[in-house]
Amino acid sequence: MPVISLQNINKIYPMGKMDVYALNDVSLEFTAGEFISVAGPSGSGKTTMMNIIGLIDRPSGGKVLMDGLETGALNRGELTKLRRETIGFVFQSFNLLPVLSVFENVELPLVIGKKREHKKKRKERVEYLLEEMGLLERRNHVPAELSGGQQQRVAIARALVTRPRIIIADEPTANLDSANGERILELMKKINREEHTTFIFSTHDPAIWKMANHVVFLRDGRIESEERR
Ligand SMILES: Nc1ncnc2c1ncn2[C@@H]1O[C@H](COP(=O)(O)OP(=O)(O)O)[C@@H](O)[C@H]1O
Ligand SMILES: [Mg+2]
């Protein structure tokens, strides 16, 4: 069974008398453990699709299934619970808390979330991920003291700390130079292999989508083509 399935998804924004189809009859299936890229130019519908897959936004029409469960039937509370338990998010603009250290930023979801864990266990998980991201020696720094690439690695560690099955990253490399962007992808790929986390990341950059094993090409809200490798 696919981990995520979109069935005939539409997302329509009313614009005066016209309707804008941000997504137009999009159907696809993602399998657990895949390393997936949603690729397309600016305005093609990538962010809209990521938000719908991430259960942040609801479609205007069609169905979103997670492990076969029809999410349209869930109320807000149930949707939030499913999202917290299943999905980690990485954003284009990093979204770290400026007053917290690197360690505290990564630990935060374990302190405030439902998956509250003992201090020693939290420390082990945070330090393991900071080690994986090559940032252990930066643990006491604040985000402003780090480069963009380092900040995004902190954000990835934070997204992974609760062991979500799915990571959704909307243009995670868009604010990075190509060397740092590729390093981020290599680290995501390593976690994908080692922890079997499903990654779904959007990009307009061929160097980035080439690293995926399943690519969905979007254009004007429609799936233009799809590749599995
Ligand atoms: N809140 C909104 N209101 C109206 N139109 C929107 C809104 N969000 C996105 N759109 C439109 O939907 C289309 C897809 O946008 P988006 O998903 O952000 O694409 P991408 O992330 O690929 O740049 C664009 O034409 C955009 O202008
Ligand atoms: Mg976007």
pLDDT value of residue 117:
73
What's the pLDDT band for 112 if we cut at 50, 70, 90? confident
Nearest protein CA to atom 17 of ligand 1, as residue:
45
- The rounded distance, in Å, linking the Cα atoms of 102 and 136 is 9
pLDDT value of residue 45:
98
Residue 102 CA, ligand 2 centroid: distance in Å: 26
- The rounded distance, in Å, linking the Cα atoms of 125 and 173 is 24
Taking CB atoms within 8 Å and a gap of at least 24, the contacts of 75-78 are none
Nearest protein CA to atom 27 of ligand 1, as residue:
43
Question: Which atom of ligand 1 is found nearest the CA of 170?
Answer: 21
Task: Please state, rounded to an integer, the average pLDDT across all residues of the chain.
Answer: 95
Residues whose CB is less than 8 angstroms from the CB of residue 112 and which lie 6 or more positions away in sequence, other chains included: none
pTM: 0.95
Considering every ligand atom, which ligand is closest to the CA of 171?
2
β-partners of residue 218 are: 223
Give me the residues near ligand 2 (ion), CB cutoff below 5 Å: 46-47
**Mean pLDDT for the stretch of residues 54-73:** 97
Query: Which of 18, 24, 47, 218 most suits a substitution to test ligand 1, by most atoms within 8 Å of the C-beta?
Result: 47
pLDDT value of residue 115:
58
Q: C-alpha 116: how far from its chain's center?
A: 22
Considering every ligand atom, which ligand is closest to the CA of 41?
1
What's the pLDDT band for 5 if we cut at 50, 70, 90? very high
Query: Does any ligand 1 atom lie closer than 6 A to the CB of residue 42?
Result: yes
Task: Using the predicted structure, report yes or no on whether residue 76 has a pLDDT greater than 80.
Answer: yes
**Mean pLDDT for the stretch of residues 57-67:** 97
Residue 39 CA, ligand 1 centroid: distance in Å: 15
pLDDT value of residue 114:
61
Tell me the pLDDT tens digit for each residue of 144-180.
999 999 999 999 999 999 999 999 999 999 999 999 9
**Mean pLDDT for the stretch of residues 23-47:** 98
Task: Using the predicted structure, report yes or no on whether residue 116 has a pLDDT greater than 90.
Answer: no
Tell me the pLDDT tens digit for each residue of 181-212.
999 999 999 999 999 999 999 999 999 999 99
